[in-house]
Structure 1
Amino acid sequence: MINFFRKIRQQLLDENRFKKYLIYAIGEIVLVVMGILIALQINNWNQNRLNAIHETKILEHLKKELARNNEINEALIFNRLDKKLESLKAAKKFCENEIIIRDTLAFLNTVTYGGVFSGGHSFGERNSYDELINTGTIQLINNDSIKNSIANYYGYLNAVKERAKVHSSRFSNYTSELRPFDTKNPNYISKFDQIEMLQSFNSPEFRKLVDLELSYTYKVRDYIINVRTQGIQTINLIDKKLNNEL
Structure 2
Amino acid sequence: MENKTGKYLKYALGEIILVVIGILIALSINNWNEQNKIDKSIISHLEILKQNLNEDQLQLQILKQNITERKQSADSAVLQMMTIRPVDNLLKKYLIMLYQEYKFSPNTNAIETINQSNEIPALNVELRTAILDYYALIERTKEREFISNTQIQTKYEPYLNDEYPNIFEKNNEWQFLASFYEKDPRPSSLIDKEKFLNDKKLESLLVSRYYQLIALEKFYEDLIISSHKILSVIEKKKI
- Unaligned stretches of 5+ in structure 1? 1-12
Match of residue 231 from structure 2: 235
Largest Rg, 1 or 2:
1
What displacement does 1:49 show? 0.6
1:186 match: 177
C-alpha deviation, 1:201, in angstroms? 4.8
Aligned to 1:139: 121
- Segments of 5+ residues of structure 2 without an aligned counterpart are none
* Counterpart amino acid of residue 108 in structure 2: R
% identical aligned pairs: 20
What does residue 210 of structure 1 align with? 206
- Which of 211, 219, 225 aligns to 1:223? It is 219
What letter corresponds to residue 228 of structure 1 in structure 2? Answer: I
CA change 1:23–1:48 in 2 (3 A) is same
Equivalent in the alignment of 1:89: 75
The 5 Å alignment of 1:158-173 reads 158-168=139-149, 169-170=151-152, 171=156
Post-superposition CA distance 1:54-79 (Å, at most 9, x none) = 1112212222222211110111x222
Could you tell me the TM-score, scaled by structure 2's length? 0.78
* 2:54 pairs with 1:67: yes
- Residues 46 and 110 in structure 2, CA contact (< 8 A), matched pair in contact too: no
Q: Is the 8 A contact 2:50 2:231 kept in 1?
A: yes
What is the deviation of 1:88? 0.8
- Rounded to whole Å, the distance in 2 between the matches of 1:235 and 1:173 is 43
Question: Any idea what the Cα deviations from partners look like across 1:177-233, whole Å, max 9, x if unmatched?
Answer: 73289x984324566664468787553332221111001011112212211111111
Q: Distance in 1 between matches of 2:91 and 2:53?
A: 37
Write out per-residue CA displacement over residues 163-186 of structure 1, whole angstroms, 9 at most, x where no aligned residue.
3322453145655673289x9843
- The answer to which of 43-52 and 167-176 deviates more is 167-176
CA distance in 2 between partners of 1:34 and 1:194 (Å):
92
Q: Which amino acid aligns with 1:108?
A: K
What's the C-alpha RMSD, in Å, of the aligned pairs? 3.1
Higher RCO (Cα < 8 Å, 6 or more apart):
2
- Give the total of aligned pairs: 222
